[in-house]
Amino acid sequence: MGTTKLTRKEILGDDPVHDVMVSAIEGVRHRGKHVAFGAAVILLLGSGIYLALEYLEKRDMESQQILSRGIDFYHAQVDSAAPDDPYGKGPDPVFRTEEAKYQAASKEFSSVISRFGSSRVAVIARYYLGLCQIRFGQKEEAIKTLEAVRDNTKDRSVGYLGKRVLAKLYAETGNYKAAQELLENMIKDPQCEIPKEELKLQLSRNYLAMGKREDAVKALREAKENSGKSMFQSLLMQELSRLEENPALSLKDLKQTAVRP
């Protein structure tokens, strides 16, 4: 019986294990191309995200630096002998006049608003810009600025501060109803961090300006009862005593408190 010698190709051609191995190798090779492509995409996306986060972090730091400089200017000392450079006398800024420091502060706050308008930092900048506008006697502009602060959704705490100052501006411009609504809503709001006795003191003065003396007295009494050891306790007692003793007392006869930033 003769022996038939098979070629390597014929042997391998009848080997099912070889077929499986070849298919597996080809599959891995094919998938490898996709994996390599996917890895490259992931790498690019990762790099993009990292660069984006780094960019946002730099922008955030820059906006905070500008805001901080503006606040430093707003609270700066005034010295008629101060140099042109506000930092010429040391690390704390000094200006020659009140107007100069508020102008410098306004410039910084405006820069934050124009460059980072949708950020939380811009909300704080708007609040301080509104205070600067009040210092300049620009009440209409200040009202518009602080109304934007009131309506913001980025920082609730700064929003309340804006409402407090806005209520004072409304009262000063004769819009007592709007001032009353703002103050009453803040007093009722459990999340409002401004002392209720301060708001009721402001509300009492607003009532008095409207000719609602009984409401003014009531607001002061409620504030006094809940004031405890508040910094406003002494002032509340003084105003309440004067109102009860003098029915003809008007708002201009009462001591006015400055706007607290």
Task: List, for residues 56-96, the tens digit of each pLDDT value.
Answer: 566 789 999 999 999 999 999 999 999 999 999 899 999 99
159 part of a folded domain? yes
87 part of a folded domain? yes
User: Both 249 and 165 in a single domain?
Assistant: yes
100 part of a folded domain? yes
111 part of a folded domain? yes
In this structure, of 36-45, 188-197, 205-214, 217-226, the range with the lowest mean pLDDT score is 36-45
In this structure, of 48-52, 112-116, 143-147, the range with the lowest mean pLDDT score is 48-52
User: Both 116 and 208 in a single domain?
Assistant: no
In this structure, of 19-33, 99-113, 133-147, 199-213, the range with the lowest mean pLDDT score is 19-33
User: Both 171 and 237 in a single domain?
Assistant: yes
Spatial distance between the Cα atoms of 227 and 33, rounded to a whole number of angstroms: 74
User: Both 181 and 226 in a single domain?
Assistant: yes
User: Both 161 and 140 in a single domain?
Assistant: no
Segment 201-235, tens digit of pLDDT: 999 999 999 999 899 999 999 888 877 777 788 88
User: Both 67 and 142 in a single domain?
Assistant: yes
**Domain end point (choices 123, 148, 173):** 148
**Domain end point (choices 98, 125, 148):** 148
Residue 24 has pLDDT above 80, yes or no: no
35 part of a folded domain? no
User: Both 99 and 165 in a single domain?
Assistant: no
Q: What is the mean pLDDT of the chain?
A: 81
Residue 39 has pLDDT above 90, yes or no: no
User: Both 167 and 261 in a single domain?
Assistant: yes
pLDDT at res. 27? 52
Q: What angle do CA 166, 213, 241 make, to 5 degrees?
A: 100
Segment 159-176, tens digit of pLDDT: 999 999 999 999 999 999
Residue 48 has pLDDT above 80, yes or no: no
User: Both 160 and 248 in a single domain?
Assistant: yes
User: Both 172 and 202 in a single domain?
Assistant: yes
User: Both 163 and 255 in a single domain?
Assistant: yes
Looking at the structure of the chain, the number of domains it has is: 2
Residue 51 has pLDDT above 80, yes or no: no
| Range(s) of the domain holding residue 88 | 54-148
**Domain end point (choices 148, 173, 207):** 148
CATH number for the domain spanning 164: value is 1.25.40
Spatial distance between the Cα atoms of 226 and 196, rounded to a whole number of angstroms: 8
User: Both 183 and 131 in a single domain?
Assistant: no
